Amino acid sequence: MPTDKMATVDPNAKSVPLEGLSLSIVVVSLVFLFLSVLAVGARTYIRLTDRVFGLDDGLMLFGTIVYVATVALSSYAAFVGLGSHDVMLNGFMAEEGKKYFTIWILVYVHSLATIKSSICITILRIAGTKMAMRIAVWVLLAITWASYLVTFIGDMLVCRPIEASWKSELVLSGQAYCSPMELMIGLSHTATGSTIATDLACAVLPGIILWNTQMDKKSKLSAYALLSFASMASIVTIIRAFYINHYLTPEDNLLFWVGHIALLSNIEIGIGCIASSIPTLRRLFARNNNNSQASSRKPWDRRGPKSLITFGSLPANHGRGSGSRNKFRNPTDTGFSLATVNAQGDWERLRDGDSDKNLSTEGGVHESGGIRADYTYAVELSQSPEHGKSFYISGERV
């Protein structure tokens, strides 16, 4: 219903000029969408070409596609009133702005739930056999989807029929019923609280996992810097919470105030897409760097008793016809390798019962020149251009 404030606005206008908050909704959302599509697209390409595309990658890809729809809805809503003051709106724009903001909420919760589930499954994968971490991740997944159901179903039922959420005349004529706005505020605070908790947990749990790993200081600092960037999503959500109570005053520039919620929510999803894809992109850059270095030297051509080259590394659970499962999917995978090692020195033939003899002495070699020698090698895994998709491990004694 048009108000006195709207009387000076052209009643035939179908859109509002973008300025201030409405302009920020469109520009900032599109920037984060572009960066998200770029990051997730590169991640998907790398995982597909490496034939290790998993459930977490699929959920991230689906969530990003839904994110495209989310940004499109909020951008169109900005053109018809979202983020603008009531004095700039006529009756059509006030109704359309509320309509597309309501639809935006219903689509946004789908994107948020799938992207957060992708992050949780990634953490579940790197947690390995740490039972406490795995239980914590499953709890996060349960909270995420419980929050999704509460928000989605609650928004669908807050007004019956749902059209009454943007057509106030249906309520005034008795053709529809809307629950008190306190219910909407309660749903929003519930969703915000669970989002903050899960965002922080998704940033903290990987840090706990990395704390006791054998990584160099530079790598750990890079990982923690990435986690700090990911934690910004929870900061954005905290800021968003301050605008929820404006639902209590729907006649006081409601579309302007809820425009902040749409903008901050789009930023939150964008941060999740980008932060979760950066580790895969770092692997791409590292691979390109290693390939450029390998082009100037051929480790497999090295000769000498102190060189070590192995071929045919396979995961421990490989089997016939397993296809892509014959590849390592994660840094935590285990496997075996066959190697030929040449060593110089005197050898002693073992006979029955000789396995019980103590062949090692101080220094690691039997005093009579025995067969045991301990060496430490620095190794690297690369792809050999002479063997197609075969991999080799080369190393030098240190």
Instruction: Name the strand (E) or helix (H) holding 394.
Output: strand 391-397
DSSP 345: S
Instruction: Name the strand (E) or helix (H) holding 378.
Output: strand 377-383
- For the chain, the helix, strand and coil percentages under 3-state DSSP, each to the nearest 5: 65, 10, 30
pLDDT digits (tens, 9 = 90+) for 109-162: 999 999 999 988 988 887 777 888 889 899 999 999 999 999 899 888 888 899
> 3-state DSSP call for residue 383?
strand
Residue with the larger pLDDT of the pair 69 and 155: 69
Supply the pTM of this predicted model.
Answer: 0.70
User: C-alpha distances in angstroms, 383 versus 215, 260, 299?
Assistant: 23, 49, 11
DSSP string, 256-273: HHHHHHHHHHHHHHHHHH
pLDDT digits (tens, 9 = 90+) for 214-247: 666 666 666 666 676 667 888 888 899 899 888 8
DSSP string, 289-314: HHHHHHTT--GGG--STTEEEEEEEE
C-alpha 312/C-alpha 327 separation (Å) is: 11
> What's the confidence (pLDDT) of residue 112?
92
Phi-psi region of 258 (alpha: psi -120 to 50; beta: other; left: phi over 0): alpha
CB 11 within 8 A of CB 91: yes
> What's the confidence (pLDDT) of residue 35?
95
> What's the confidence (pLDDT) of residue 233?
83
> What's the confidence (pLDDT) of residue 129?
77
The mean pLDDT of 54-60, rounded to a whole number, is: 92
Q: Tell me the pLDDT of the chain averaged across its residues.
A: 76
> 3-state DSSP call for residue 333?
coil
pLDDT digits (tens, 9 = 90+) for 311-357: 444 444 444 444 444 454 544 444 444 444 455 555 455 554 444 44
> What's the confidence (pLDDT) of residue 110?
94
Please state, for a pLDDT cut of 90, what percent of the chain lies above it. 32
Q: CA nearest 274: which of 30, 47, 36, 58?
A: 36
Question: Degrees (nearest 5) of the Cα angle 148, 98, 64?
Answer: 45
Phi-psi region of 75 (alpha: psi -120 to 50; beta: other; left: phi over 0): alpha
* Per-residue pLDDT at 41 exceeds 90: yes
What is the pLDDT confidence band of residue 287, given thresholds at 50, 70 and 90? low
> What's the confidence (pLDDT) of residue 222?
64
